[in-house]
Chain A
Amino acid sequence: MNRLALPMIRLDNLTLGYDRHPAVHHLSAEIPAGALVAVVGPNGAGKSTLLKGLAGELHPIGGRIVLPELPAGGLAYMPQRGEIDHSFPVSVFDVVAMGLWHEIGAFGGLSREQRGRVRAALAAVGMAGFEARPIGSLSGGQLQRARFARLMLQDAPLILLDEPFAAIDSRTVDDLVELILGWHDEGRTILTVVHDLEQVRRHFPTALLLSREPVAFGPTAEVLTPERLARARRLSEAFDEHAHECHIEELTVAVAPDVGTHPHTHDDGHGHTEGHGHAPVHPAAHAHPAPRPRRGLPRH
């Protein structure tokens, strides 16, 4: 299972946001392979934004994200509210089988063994016997279980879960947490947005406390202290329509060389040069051949 040994996420002074307003502001962190990280913080703290950035759905407006080279389908991202169309006439089996996309692609058929794995995944989330049910007949908790079964089949070394426990009853949450802990034991790297701090303290060894600014990152007990939580609450102020340009000094970030030989970089995509204070300096991208930005160098 050397697929599972790979990930290690490096965030270099990362700023993500919408319309130049940062939602995640100057975040630098190194997430080791195999970590189980709870991303916590008040509403509007940038938790979902961070996951979107990691999943490649949002380009950084400053800094960058360095991921190791993952195999195809090596990153599984479960958004908070999928764009799932519940009225679509597909069965639970079909939905879970979608998790095998990286094996069967657009045209491949399901082998007997793969069908068995789909059924096993459904059984593992406590939904054996639901194979033929239309997806629209499931309750919220059952649908979430089915999404977890699909995720299980994706067999990804890096898993991003955005509020997987929102509006789910406690028994289902317990079952889902068990699954996540199982994936952790298998060595997968997992980032989960969680709101219930008790749950975080009980199950998650590492926590990242965000409030647009990074507040703390490390062992959960050291992160979730009353002082730090209070600071996170203070920081979570409204999006200021007329915010001034940010002029935090750019750090010249040294590059950790052992990230993998050909890391992917979600390069800062657009427009950060026009007056946005923290146009990142990328000495590393010029000097070292190792971290190869995917889409060209920053424009100046």
Chain B
Amino acid sequence: MFDLLISPFTEFAFMRRALAGCLALALGATPVGVFLLLRRMSLMGDAMSHAILPGAALGYLAFGLSLGAMTVGGIVAGLVVVFAAGLVTRASVLKEDASLAAFYLLSLAAGVMIVSLRGQNLDLLHVLFGSVLGLDDASLLLIASIASVTLASLALLFRPLVMECFDPAFLRGVSRWSPVAHYGFLMLVVVNLVSGFHALGTLMAVGIMILPSAAARLWAKGLPMLLLLAVLFAFGSGASGLLLSFHADVPAGPAIVLVCGVVYFVSLLAAPGGLLAGRLPVRHHLES
């Protein structure tokens, strides 16, 4: 048992780094994912993850496999898409999903073209699928810093953000926080996707945001419990995915997301909000 679960982490430094990276992602990216889910923007997270690709690719093209350049590039590209889409939504008849789709598709196409201009397939794979087992000090520090900033920002934005999700018209009526909450949140989405993309790659970073959140939503009735459960699910899946990757010799990123998927399917079957809950023979209903 010890050999199976603990010794990979005690014996290998790269496993410890990967575990620390997963913890940071679970603490930072997953709460953001919970709000994405509650705002019915789960798919938007996916769109955004594609939108950061050209920025990262441009950084790569200009400076090689440099952490700073790819990070800054990714964040800039993500923010440009978010604000351009927001501007188009406010000023034209297009709804947010349409304007965002237009921008992220262009962004993705540009990204793929830039990557293919210079680079072997290996590099492309790194950008798309990340390398949680190859996290160096700088990447780890970056992921941890982004998680810290995210937690602090969520704490500051929490009340306006909850109101913006629940009843935006009311928030607009009583304060000017509505755009701050909306755009502040989108900025958090972008930086967390960039953080996730170092570990899991652009395509799978969304997995650790949305899957644990969706699973937790099936169990929890209140928001605090929802956030807590989602973080636990994410970290648990991260650790299990790393072990799976270690013992079965499979890539770590997909392993982590697939374990998240297992948690999701189990919740879907067993949780009070899941598929079976309404179909099982019921206990006697209450008096009132």
Tell me the A residues contacting B by CB distance below 8 Å. 55, 57, 73, 75-77, 79, 82-85, 88-91, 94-95, 98, 101-102, 105-107, 134-135, 150, 154
Contact = CB atoms under 8 A, between A and B. Distances in A.
B159 A107 contact: yes
Contact of A90 (B166, B169, B177, B220): B166
Interface in B100-142: none
B173 A76 contact: yes
Interface of B: 38, 156-157, 159-160, 162-163, 165-170, 172-175, 177, 220-223, 226
A101 B168 contact: no
- Chain B interface, >50% SS class: helix
B222 A91 contact: yes
15 contacts: A73-B175, A75-B173, A79-B169, A82-B170, A84-B167, A85-B165, A88-B162, A89-B38, A89-B222, A91-B222, A94-B162, A98-B167, A98-B170, A107-B159, A150-B170
B177 A83 contact: no
Given A91-B222, A102-B174, A106-B177, A82 B169 contact: yes
B163 A98 contact: yes
Contacts of B175: 73, 101, 105-106
A94 B160 CA distance: 13
A130 B240 CA distance: 41
Contacts of A55: 173
A90 B174 contact: no
A106 B159 contact: yes
Given A77-B173, A88-B166, A107-B159, 20 more contacts: A73-B174, A76-B173, A82-B167, A82-B170, A84-B167, A85-B38, A85-B165, A85-B167, A88-B38, A89-B220, A89-B221, A89-B222, A89-B226, A95-B166, A98-B167, A106-B156, A106-B157, A106-B159, A106-B175, A134-B222
A106 B174 contact: no
